[in-house]
Structure 1
Amino acid sequence: MNQSGTIGAGPERGHFRRFLGWWGRELRGLLPGLPWSGGGAAGNLLLILDDGPAPRLYRLRHGRGRLLGQLTDRPSRDAPLIRQARRGAPLVVLRLAAASGLKRRLDLPLSAEHELRQVVRYQLDSISPYPPEQVGFACRVAERDPGRGLLRVDVYLTPLQVLQQAVRRAEARGLTPDRVDFTDGDELQPPRFDLLGTARSPRRSLPQRLNRFLVWLCLLLGAGLVAAHLVRQADTESLLQARVESARARAEVARRLRDRVRRLELEAEVLATARRQRLPALAILDELSRTLPRDTWLEALDLADDRLILSGLSSRAANLISVIENSPRLEQAGFRAPVVQDARSGRERFQIGALVSGGGAQ
């Protein structure tokens, strides 16, 4: 009885495990960039080592690899090996040769981790020898340095055509990959990155398409309310921004007009000051030329506001004070420096200061 019960339960458990394996692969197909853990289903891996003319199949269990066999160019001959390899619904990893890809290291800000794949996509031009639209890539965090605020990321690159051809070859043999990478160090190590996100064939099975549709439908429904709220916020912000720009433009026009008025006022004041100074200066010079003695020579006349300074030579400099005081335009005349004898002319060198009276400035 015990033996018959064990025999009957075996196929049921096998069907159940195959169902769980299929469902897990479907979910991982929707999220190809999701990292795998070291335990659970990831402990049962089927590795297709496609690094030569004849791919080899390995069973990886808990870090150990066992060779199952080598594929040929005849699918009918490979069918028993493939059935044996697929027993237990393992996760299928397609591993390309090391020469099929490149590994690059990027230093990014810690904040880039939330949108790591998108940030790396923007960097492809600078790190990839292939055009961005012709390259498959994957990325993984190698190190976090909170002290320096840096995130060190390993980026794995391979030509998209090479990637897609390898996936199609595996699918043609009935081995649909759950993950694709290339050899980076030990060829039998567990997978650390996945290139399948950029190489997955556009042809999908019905369950895959249905799952993808349901996931996207949930995402769209979940984002609908947020999007509507953001649209309303954007409209309000645009309206406020337009008002701010209009007010800013009017303020700029007012500022320019104010600056222009101020500049014109300053120019008018300068012209008025120059005019006020020019007329008294000419009148005073005319009067001094008529009243000063003939033996007096003016060398300089400086008029600043209401202050006048006369410099020159005269036979009797002391007599000039009374002459200047008698002028209706000048008052408070006096020497600003000692009178000295000019050795060359024999006259007295003087410097006299005076104030221009109110009547003279009119």
Structure 2
Amino acid sequence: MSAVETVTADSSLPRRLGRAGRRLRPRAASFWAWWTQALASWLPLRVRKLFGLAHERLLLQPAGDSLRLVLEREAEARELGQVPWSGDDMLDPDPLQRLLAPRVADLPRWLVLPAGSGLRRSMVLPAAAEPRLRDMLGFEIERQTPFTAADVQYDARVTGRRDDGQLDVELVVVPSAALDTALGGLGPVSRTLTGADLQSSDGRTLGVNLLPGARRHQRTDPWLGWNLALASVAVIALAASLWQMLSNRSQAADAFEAEVSALATRARTVSVEKQRLLGLVEGMRFLQATRAGRPTTVEVLDEFSRRLPDSTHLEKLSIEDDRILLIGLSRDASSLVRVLEGSDLWRSPALTGALQPDPRTGSDRFTLTAELVVTPPPATAANRGDADAENRP
């Protein structure tokens, strides 16, 4: 690509963006106007007046040496009266301000020209021309009227829409000299005008603005600064409240998480203590079951005292786990096994080692062993759980 082509491409992009912006601006403005009008139509007239949404304007119609004042509201006109008028001799910059009520005096002021002051031409254009209707009809002034574009003030309006996508439009033209003469007759009030409209043959206004943009009075809202300040305060307050709400929720979540963590720690501690207590209970139950399954030492001694003959006396009796050991002297030691058999407290009595005669007493020293009968304790919950875990495939 050459340098000339590069410069041309770079410079065409801003132009394309500018054209796109100019196309979007009238569409956005028309959408905003339609949207606000649709919203306002749902409100009562008193509410629309309060918020400035009612379409009201003060129409000024010069009539010789007097000025006719008409209040137009929602396409309905109401005459307020006529006042003597000599615009050239007035020194007051705004004489209407002291003649009218403040609410009426602050309404947008429009000059209404007689129907014979202008020229109207009807045409049919494609619907795509609506966003730039006035600019397009500006090229039709010299073809449709006997005037040149430099000698007139003009505006355009849509009068109907057809089913085939065409628009019925009307070009309204007023000679600049006639408009300047009408403005001069208003004197200083001409500087307060928002627009200039043309009267139709039936006495109604057309809804066009023939006043040049540079001469239109830009009405400013005295409460705009306060409204912007209040809106800023409202936005800041809303942001602060949302931030505070988020902070409160975050603190509540942190507190709830800490509480849940503390409860979880307590639950784990309680679970450990419960397991420990269950272990102690099971241990005590096992010991009690084991103790209940073993004969007591008193029962064993009582059984031996009843079964052993009087010629036998014991030197030692010990019980270690389930093993019984007897050491003593007896005149009939060989028969002790037979005497001790059949007891419910022990089984398998037997002599251990050889009998040793004792010359002092004439008895035989013996050593006898037996196995204590122990009933196995019932399986505990813990033992059953361990057994199930071992048997589980």
User: So what's the TM-score if we normalise by structure 2?
Assistant: 0.38
Q: Which one has a bigger Cα radius of gyration?
A: 2
